[in-house]
Structure 1
Amino acid sequence: MNDTARTREVARAYVERSEQRDWAGLAQLLAEDMVYEMPQTGERIRSRERFLQFNREYPGDWHLSVGRIVADGANAAVWMQVSSGSELMDACAWLELSAQGLITRVTDFWPEAYEPPAGREHLVERFSRSAT
C-alpha cells in the first residue's frame, strides 16, 4: 500500500473510531506526542492521552460521518458532517502522519454557518443541509 492510500485509510479510521467512541482503537492511530489544534478557539492539546481525554469528556450526543477524504502522501483533509442533536455542521480536519503511519497533528476547523450578504441572489441558489 502506498503512502497516500495508507493515509486515506488512517483518516477514515480516525473519523469512524471517533464516531464509535472506540478510544482504544483511536489511540492506536495516534502518535504519543501528537498535537491537536482548533484555530477558531485558539486551543491546542499536546499528547495522545490529553486528546483522548478531551474527546471522552466532550459533552453532548455528537456524531461524525465522512463526507470526503483527500490524501497526498502523509497528509489528509477530511470533510466531516457533524450532528449534535438537531444541529448539523460541517467540519474539516487536516491530518499529518509520521513515517510510521501514526497521526502526529490534527488541525480541526469548525466553520459556523451564516446567512450570506444581500445582493447576490441573482447568482446563487440556496440549499438545505440534511443529515447523512
Structure 2
Amino acid sequence: MTENLSPTPPLPTLIATYWKAVNDHDWDLFDTTLADDVVYDLPQTRERIRGKEAYSRFNREYPGAWQTRVLRTVVESPQAATWTHTTSGLTELHAQTFFTTDPRTGLITEITEFWPEPYEPPTGREHLVERY
C-alpha cells in the first residue's frame, strides 16, 4: 500500500517561505516550514535547540526589532544554504545558514547557523588584500 503524502513545495520555495516568515515575524507561517523534531545548532555558542515548539519559541522571544534580508540561496536537495544580512538597531550581521530537509515531508529537519563576528585582520598581509 502506498502512503498518501501531501505534495511538498520545491526546496527553494520552502527556504524562501522560511525567510519570509522570519523577516515578517510570522511565526505561524514559520512553524509550517519545520519538522516537529527539527534540530537547530549554533556552533559559536555551542547551543542546540530540539523540536519545533522550542525553536519557534526561541525566535518568538528573541529580543529587539530585527530584519533579515537573504543575499544568496544555494540549493542541492535535500539541503540548502543561505547567506543573510540582519539588522537590529545599529547592529548589522551576516550569517550563513545550512538547512537539511526530509524529502518525504518537504520540511526542515536540521538547521546549522553561523553568526560570524567582524574582526580586524592581522597585520602583514596588506600587500595581498583589498579592504572593503
Q: Same fold (TM over 0.5)?
A: yes
Q: Is 1:72 equivalent to 2:73 in the alignment? A: no
| 1:94-113 alignment runs, 5 A limit | 94-99=98-103, 100-113=105-118
Report the Cα distance in structure 2 between the residues aligned to 1:81 and 1:30, rounded to whole angstroms: 22
Deviation readout 1:101-126 (Å, 9 max, x if unpaired):
10001111111110011111112121
Counterpart position of 1:18 = 22
Aligned length in residues: 124
Unaligned 5+ segments in structure 2 are 1-7
Q: CA deviation at 1:83?
A: 0.9
TM-score (norm 1): 0.89
Counterpart position of 2:131 = 126
Aligned mate of 2:55, from 37, 51, 58? 51
- Tell me the C-alpha RMSD between the 2 structures: 1.4
Unaligned 5+ segments in structure 1 are 128-132
Deviation readout 1:84-116 (Å, 9 max, x if unpaired):
111111101100111211000111111111001
SS in 1 for 2:25: coil
Q: Is 1:81 equivalent to 2:85 in the alignment? A: yes
Report the Cα distance in structure 2 between the residues aligned to 1:113 and 1:67, rounded to whole angstroms: 18
Report the Cα distance in structure 1 between the residues aligned to 2:97 and 2:124, rounded to whole angstroms: 32
Report the Cα distance in structure 1 between the residues aligned to 2:78 and 2:11, rounded to whole angstroms: 6
Counterpart position of 1:41 = 45
Report the Cα distance in structure 2 between the residues aligned to 1:12 and 1:66, rounded to whole angstroms: 9
Counterpart position of 1:115 = 120
Report the Cα distance in structure 2 between the residues aligned to 1:40 and 1:7, rounded to whole angstroms: 27
Q: Percent identity?
A: 44
Report the Cα distance in structure 1 between the residues aligned to 2:74 and 2:101, rounded to whole angstroms: 14
- Amino acid aligned to 2:111: V
